[in-house]
């Protein structure tokens, strides 16, 4: 760790923080030091440990109910014990969340003061209890005005939040934190995600204003350019490990990108598989927009080559999940998708499924499974609806062919090695990995030409992860099936894909090969371009 003089006092120090979730070590000794008035950026991919670290700082219940944490947290060089968000608040640690905790039907002032309203005693409250104290709107509005002025934002404290543009809502949240007891440390969690460029600029100025008042600021973001604009120091986390802390003046975006992404890779894919020139396009996506809340796609062009494993990577919320969902018609989309030379009707799951596209959703339990039904029914049902498979006819009426369903299920259980008590077991009681295999089996029952798989190993333990990935690789190798795999875990994509498209801000930032420089991946994920000199190894 470089860059600090040991004599100066830190407003916040997190020393050697370790955290385990059910035997899984998610934080492996993290150190973080913030001085008063410092803007400290916290960088890392999804799953690096940023949220967990912040949850510890805020005393979130999820930390304490899973065994607490090891290490020390010191505020102004005093060890503190944060058992709840209330404790954090009282000690002067505040957080501006990504999802706004605001009530549209209340004024800005009321939102700033939720559950901390200022009240006066009345006769009635003295008799019937302090809950009946009268609200002192005059003082509350004054406080709100003060907080807003501190940030330097000209919003009227009496406006209703519902009439504020989205960009301003963030400032109301900031004002709320400022209004709480003297703020010492303020955490911003991906604050610029929903802001326009000018709003983001205003926000970063606000951060500087607050820092100048002596508040220590932790700035969690993936946008390296913003980091270079506004941060004093930068700490990088990767896979729960502390990588480094750098002074902004001593680094650049490329180094940061590399530190964020670089890790030892286990490439399963044969590296001599050079595909681009030899394969035809099986799917062409042009000018494609998808309106999936939280994962919007804003006009992409992407080609999928026949027989390849294409990876869609990028940070959470940047849109990669939206692509498959949009093509399959699960979320509103427009643009053009050409499949095997024919235009695919959009917004129509039936069309997509009938044409030969199959999808294993990222929401395994919500969209992917009938939890209270048997394995065999789960595997058969979509093919039954779309392709009229597994049916026997009695005159006009179609009945289920239980023999056929059973046989196919048993075949799939064997082929994919689904660990279960039998085809009649309810999927609810299966482990995550086996549930995932049931979803894959269902998709395969449709005999698709392209298989879209989203977040295939999410929530699956490490042992099972490899099994699922192996299954996909074998499928591709043995049957030549084209697979498009969307994943937040870059390492996973780099280990099995032929090509990887990085999706940032709803667009294709670039397409890389697994062996490409770490820094290139990091730059594309941060929305920056790869400098000409870098190129591919």
Partner 1 sequence: MNKGNFMGTAKEYIFNNMVTILFVILCLVGLSLSGQPISLVLNELVIRIARNSFLVLALIIPVIAGMGLNFGIVIGAMAAQIIIIAVTHWGIVGVPGFLLCVVLTTPLAVIFGYFTGKLLNKTKGQEMITSMILGFFANGLYQLLFLFLIGTLIPMNNPVLMISGGVGIKNTVDLTGGIKYALDNIFNRSLYYVVYNMALIALVICIALIIYSVIKKKKNLKGLIIKAIISLVVFVGCQINSVAILLNYVGVPIVTMLVIAALCVFNILIFKTKLGQDFRTVGQNPVVANASGINVDKTRIKAIVISTVLAAWGQLIFLQNIGTLNTYGSHEQVGMFAIAAILIGGATVSKATNKQAILGVILFHTLFIVSPTAGKNLFNNAQIGEYFRVFVAYGVICVSLVLYAWKDYVKAKEKITL
Partner 2 sequence: MKEKIKTFIGKVGLPRIIIAVFFILLCVLAIPLNLSVPMLVSDILVRFGMNGILVLAMVPAILCGIGLNFGLPIGILAGILGGLISIELNLSGGLGFFVGTLIGIPIAILFGYLYGQLLNKVKGSEMMIATYAGFSAISLMCIGWLLLPFKSSEIRWPIGQGLRTTITLEGRFAKILDNFWAFNIGGVRIPTGMLLLFFIGCVIVWLFSKSKTGIMMAAEGSNPKFAIASSIPVDRMRIIGTILSTVLGSIGIMVYSQSYGFIQLYQAPMMMGFAAVAAILIGGASTTKAKISHVIIGTFLFQGLLTVGLPVINQMIKESNLSEVIRIIVSNGIIIYALTKAKGGAAHE
Closer Cβ to partner 1, 118 or 338, answer by number: 118
Dihedral (CA of 224, 228, 229, 234) sign: positive
247 binds partner 2 (CB under 8 A): no
361 binds partner 2 (CB under 8 A): yes
Considering only residues 375 through 394, tell me which ones interact with partner 2, judged by CB under 8 A.
377, 381-382, 384-386, 388, 391
Q: What whole-number distance in Å separates Cα of residue 472 and Cα of residue 497?
A: 10
Among 400, 404, 410, 505, binds partner 2 (CB under 8 A): 400
Among 398, 403, 411, 419, binds partner 2 (CB under 8 A): 398
416 binds partner 2 (CB under 8 A): no
Q: What is the DSSP string of 33-77?
A: EE-TT-EEEEE--TTSSHHHHHHHHTT-HHHHTTT--EEEEEETT
Q: Contact region for partner 2 (CB under 8 A) — 152-160, 204-212, 237-245, 354-362?
A: 354-362
Q: What whole-number distance in Å separates Cα of residue 131 and Cα of residue 115?
A: 11
Which residues, 6 or more positions from 103, have their beta carbon under 8 angstroms from its beta carbon? 110, 111, 114, 161
Q: What whole-number distance in Å separates Cα of residue 183 and Cα of residue 185?
A: 6
Residue whose C-alpha is closest to residue 521's, from 168, 222, 126, 97: 222
Residue whose C-alpha is closest to residue 439's, from 366, 360, 380, 370: 360
Closest separation between CB of residue 252 and partner 2, Å?
44
Q: What is the DSSP string of 404-445?
A: HHHHHHHHHHHHHT--SS-TTSBGGGS-HHHHHHHHHHHHHT
Considering only residues 270 through 309, tell me which ones interact with partner 1, judged by CB under 8 A.
291, 293
Dihedral (CA of 91, 106, 190, 35) sign: negative
Q: What whole-number distance in Å separates Cα of residue 25 and Cα of residue 18?
A: 8
Closer Cβ to partner 1, 16 or 122, answer by number: 122
The item of partner 2, partner 1, none sharing an interface with residue 115, based on CB under 5 to 8 Å by kind, is partner 1
Considering only residues 332 through 351, tell me which ones interact with partner 2, judged by CB under 8 A.
349-350
Q: 3-state class of 210 per DSSP?
A: helix
239 binds partner 1 (CB under 8 A): no
330 binds partner 2 (CB under 8 A): yes
| Residue 176: count of CB within 10 angstroms of its CB | 21
Among 227, 328, 416, 490, binds partner 2 (CB under 8 A): 328
The item of partner 1, partner 2, none sharing an interface with residue 133, based on CB under 5 to 8 Å by kind, is partner 1
371 binds partner 2 (CB under 8 A): yes
Closer Cβ to partner 2, 276 or 354, answer by number: 354
Closest separation between CB of residue 143 and partner 1, Å?
15
Q: What whole-number distance in Å separates Cα of residue 486 and Cα of residue 493?
A: 8
Closer Cβ to partner 1, 288 or 408, answer by number: 288
Q: 3-state class of 212 per DSSP?
A: helix
Closer Cβ to partner 2, 270 or 350, answer by number: 350
The item of partner 2, partner 1, none sharing an interface with residue 399, based on CB under 5 to 8 Å by kind, is partner 2
CB 246 within 8 A of CB 237: no
Side-chain half-sphere CA neighbours of 446 within 13 A? 27
| Pattern 96-115, partner 1, x by CB under 8 A | -----xxxxxx---x---xx
Closer Cβ to partner 1, 178 or 519, answer by number: 178
363 binds partner 1 (CB under 8 A): no
The item of partner 1, partner 2, none sharing an interface with residue 119, based on CB under 5 to 8 Å by kind, is partner 1
Considering only residues 318 through 357, tell me which ones interact with partner 1, judged by CB under 8 A.
331-332
Among 60, 367, 467, 511, binds partner 2 (CB under 8 A): 367
119 binds partner 1 (CB under 8 A): yes
366 binds partner 2 (CB under 8 A): yes
Which residues, 6 or more positions from 91, have their beta carbon under 8 angstroms from its beta carbon? 75, 80, 82, 184
Q: 3-state class of 288 per DSSP?
A: strand
Question: Residue 111 phi/psi, 5° resolution?
Answer: -65, -40
CB 248 within 8 A of CB 255: no
DSSP 374: B
Closest separation between CB of residue 449 and partner 2, Å?
17
Closest separation between CB of residue 478 and partner 2, Å?
26
463 binds partner 1 (CB under 8 A): no
Exposed/middle/buried for residue 339 (C-beta within 10 Å: 0-12, 13-18, 19+)? buried
Closest separation between CB of residue 351 and partner 1, Å?
20
Closer Cβ to partner 2, 87 or 363, answer by number: 363
Q: Which residues in this chain contact partner 1 in the complex, by CB under 8 A? A: 86, 101-106, 110, 114-115, 117, 119, 125, 130-135, 291, 293, 331-332
Q: Which residues in this chain contact partner 2 in the complex, by CB under 8 A? A: 328, 330, 349-350, 353-354, 359, 361, 363, 366-373, 377, 381-382, 384-386, 388, 391, 397-400
């Amino acid at each position: 760790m470089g860059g600090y003089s040991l004599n100066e006092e830190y407003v916040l120090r997190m020393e050697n923080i370790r955290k385990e979730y059910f035997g899984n070590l998610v934080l492996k000794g993290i150190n973080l030091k913030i001085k008063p008035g410092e803007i400290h950026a916290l960088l890392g991919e999804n799953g690096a440990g940023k949220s967990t670290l912040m949850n510890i700082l805020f005393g979130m219940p999820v930390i304490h109910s899973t065994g607490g944490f090891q290490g020390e947290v010191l505020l102004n060089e005093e060890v503190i014990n944060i058992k709840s968000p209330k404790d954090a608040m009282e000690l002067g640690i505040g957080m501006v969340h990504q999802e706004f905790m605001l009530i549209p039907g209340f004024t800005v002032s009321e939102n700033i003061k939720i559950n901390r309203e200022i009240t006066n005693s009345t006769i009635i409250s003295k008799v019937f209890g302090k809950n009946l104290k009268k609200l002192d709107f005059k003082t509350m509005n004054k406080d709100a005005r003060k907080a807003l002025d501190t940030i330097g934002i000209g919003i009227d404290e009496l406006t209703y939040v519902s009439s504020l543009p989205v960009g301003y809502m963030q400032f109301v949240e900031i004002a709320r934190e400022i209004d709480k007891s003297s703020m010492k440390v303020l955490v911003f969690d991906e604050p610029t995600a929903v802001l326009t460029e000018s709003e983001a600029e205003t926000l970063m100025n606000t951060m500087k204003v607050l820092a100048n008042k002596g508040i220590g600021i932790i700035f969690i973001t993936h946008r390296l350019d913003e980091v270079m604009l506004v941060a004093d120091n930068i700490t990088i986390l990767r896979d729960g490990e502390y990588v480094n802390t750098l002074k902004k003046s001593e680094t650049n975006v490329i180094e940061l990108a590399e530190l964020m992404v670089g890790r030892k890779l286990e490439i399963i894919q044969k590296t001599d598989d050079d595909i681009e020139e030899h394969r035809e396009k099986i799917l062409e996506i042009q000018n494609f927009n998808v309106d999936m809340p939280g994962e919007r796609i804003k006009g992409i062009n992407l080609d999928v080559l026949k027989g390849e494993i294409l990876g869609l990577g990028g940070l959470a919320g940047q849109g990669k999940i939206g692509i498959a969902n949009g093509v399959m018609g699960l979320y509103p989309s427009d643009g053009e998708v050409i499949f095997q030379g024919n235009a695919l009707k959009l917004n129509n799951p039936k069309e997509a499924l009938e044409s030969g596209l199959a999808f294993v959703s990222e929401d395994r339990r919500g969209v992917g499974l009938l939890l209270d039904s048997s394995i065999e029914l789960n595997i058969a049902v979509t093919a039954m609806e779309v392709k009229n498979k597994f049916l026997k006819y009695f005159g006009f009426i179609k009945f289920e062919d239980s023999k056929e369903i059973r046989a196919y299920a048993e075949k799939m259980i064997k082929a994919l090695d689904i660990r279960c008590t039998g085809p009649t077991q309810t999927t609810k009681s299966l482990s995550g990995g086996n549930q995932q295999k049931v979803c894959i089996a269902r998709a395969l029952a449709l005999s698709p030409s392209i298989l879209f798989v989203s977040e295939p190993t999410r929530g699956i333990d490490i042992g099972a992860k490899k099994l699922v990935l192996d299954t996909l690789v074998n499928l591709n190798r043995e049957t030549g099936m084209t697979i498009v795999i969307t994943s937040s875990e870059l390492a996973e994509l780099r280990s099995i894909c032929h090509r990887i498209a990085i999706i940032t801000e709803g667009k294709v930032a670039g397409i890389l090969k697994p062996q490409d420089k770490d820094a290139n991946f990091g730059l594309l994920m941060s929305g920056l371009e790869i400098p000409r000199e870098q190129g591919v190894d």
